[in-house]
Structure 1
Amino acid sequence: MLPKTLSEIIASHPNKCLGVLGLSYHHLPNRLKPCFLSMGDFPEDFQVDTWRLIQLWIAEGFIRTSSGRHESLEEVAKHYLEDLISRNLIMARKKRFNGEVKVCGIHDLLREFCLIEAEMTKFMHVVRTPFSLAQKPNFRRFSIQKYISHKLLPPVARSIHCFSSLDLPFESRIHGFFSSFNHLRVLAIFSALFVSFPLVIRKLFHLRYLQVQCSGNIPESISELQNLQTLISDAYSLDMTLPRNIWMMKNLRCFKFIWEEISSTFIMLPHLEELKLKHCLADDDVWKLSDKDIFKSLKLLLLSDVNLKCWEARSDNFPNLKRLVLKKCKDLKKIPTNFGEIYSLELIELHDCTTTAKASVRKIKQEQDDLDNNILKVYIHNSYTN
């Protein structure tokens, strides 16, 4: 009878399959090995956003900056990713118009190798069957792809990716699940929508990366997570508001569907490098930044489906901005005209925006071309005629 799965193929020809894949893996520099193995976190054929993968690598402590080099952790992580892609260990599934990798993945055979190697080296355990954990295993990282009881996971777990239903309809079960893992650094829940933000999460003091879906507001107590670097709140409420004391989270560097009090709050986060605001409705359709509203470290700003009509800002408000992305901002009349004076700005992307907004971007580009500034690139895409 012929083998039916990749696991069975590898099991029936271990020397041939693992030997070839093992050569590529074992020739990797040590700094790249955990990054490659982490691709096993994701289910088969999962489309991994590059920005998400990079923030995960940083939160896990896989990325190290070299002494004497003035590169951010994100820039170093991009180099790691490019290296793994050049070795054909990670696949670039989608690219932006300028060649940057937007979405990546891994070949099924390489993923199977990842799972085997991760299991053998105690790097990570992937729960692929409901009964794959007969007893609490000696692992620190878990990817839950089939439902199991949280009682089967060790309390020393440092990383949990959950792609399977948690089956947590009652507050007591939610509290029991999250309060079991006091050492967590990474908690990414893809499969559950909570009616309200699970308050017990605020007790996970060591968290660096948090992804959670909820239909209620993020509580003020989120500021207790002083080590948090990345917060992804996939909100499902149009009137969701931002915690007033989020500015106390000094290590927060990447935030993704909140709008209220954006200027007065986010400018107080000294390490914030990425800000993505999607499907947000502001009480006022004007975003006016004063001279004191400075996003000191922000490198990426993405606005998608926001109800802005007027945006008043200066280049000094975003001194280190590298990339500005606007998607479906169907009311915004124009981009601030002096954004071309942001010396670090490399790219402006417009997707399905107004004719006047497109014209303002073209004007900015022309002015920079006239000044022999060839660094700034502009990309305009429309899927409809407006």
Structure 2
Amino acid sequence: MSTTEAHTDLPVFDHDFVQNLHAGFDRIRAATPVQRMVTRHGLEVWVITRYDDARAALADPRLSKKNDRMQEVIQAKLPADADRREFVDGLLEHMLNMDPPDHTRLRKLVVKAFNARRVEGMRSRIEEISAGLLDAMAEESEVDLLDAFAFPLPIQVISELLGVDESRRDDFRAWTNALVDAPDDSQQAAVAMAQYLVQLIEAKRREPADDLLTGLIEATEDEDRLSEPELISMVFLLLVAGHETTVNLIGNGVLALLRNPDQWAALVADPGLVPAAVEEMLRFDGPVMHGTFRHTAEPVEYGGVQIPAGEIVWVGLASANNDPDRFAEPGRFDITRDAHGHLAFGHGIHFCLGAQLARLEGQIAVRHLVERFPNLRAAGSLDDVQWRFSTLMHGLQSFPVRPGVR
């Protein structure tokens, strides 16, 4: 029998909470290991706030990710007057929203094509893309780091990796922004993206190329292949996760570096610190606030708090990565810290398939920035930044900087 109950005063996960995300989670984590919260749609969720519990929850098979059942749970719990369009999307039938054995089958097929060799083969191209973007930045006295660098780098990389036409990359940014940030436009964006992906897959079937999408189409395991709906959903996942997280990794990470000028100076003096710096960036203010939705297939208990069956659970990655019981002085940004074990890429069977690519992009981006623009400065107040509202991603709305070319 549990002796602890989750707090019953339900904070709202809204724009104001996101603007002060870490302060809010610091208060909640200190008070309770599991906090019930209410989304802006009126959906009640249970947020796991502490590192040990979060790590265990990420690998707990009792927390199901099966999408059809998830949609049933969400629809049943939403208030009658809630706008439900955000939660109904056929593009969500991918392996991130599946349990074994379906998840196991899909992951085996995907890793046939999206593997370490293919990612490492992109290194020189990522270097080239990054250098070209910084060349353009050098011509400006002030730029938005997100528009000029943090967005175009990963979207160009994942587009080239998949074989997406260059002319459609701006469309993908608009679609992704709508899906992540703008529920009123999400259904229209989902339809537009799905229609394009159908056309793209048909084109690759007619004319195979040396790219990831062709690899996914041709991948086999014991005569099994990805079906057409599985291909569409998988490419959707790779396109969204394959650039959105890296945009935020670069933006949030450079913000942390500029807010801590001693850390920026240390990196300028020794670019060999870049790999450790990227891990600390991921821990300190990572690109994802929560693991994607899970639901309790049976009653579970974390930190002495009982969560009944049929409830929605968020695993608080941002909160767990700032748990003082796991990371000493978690609010101090320290690029020499041993940040291993952070949960920015998750844990368990759903560990991020693109972690190697994100790390590679992040390391190249940060190294190029400190080498090319050692005098980089924010163009506005570092204390007055605005965060995009999302229930999943954590990233800046904009980040004006001055390259400070000598």
Q: What TM-score does the superposition give when structure 2 sets the normalisation length?
A: 0.23
- RCO higher in structure (CA 8 A, sep ≥6): 2
Q: Which has the higher helix share?
A: 2
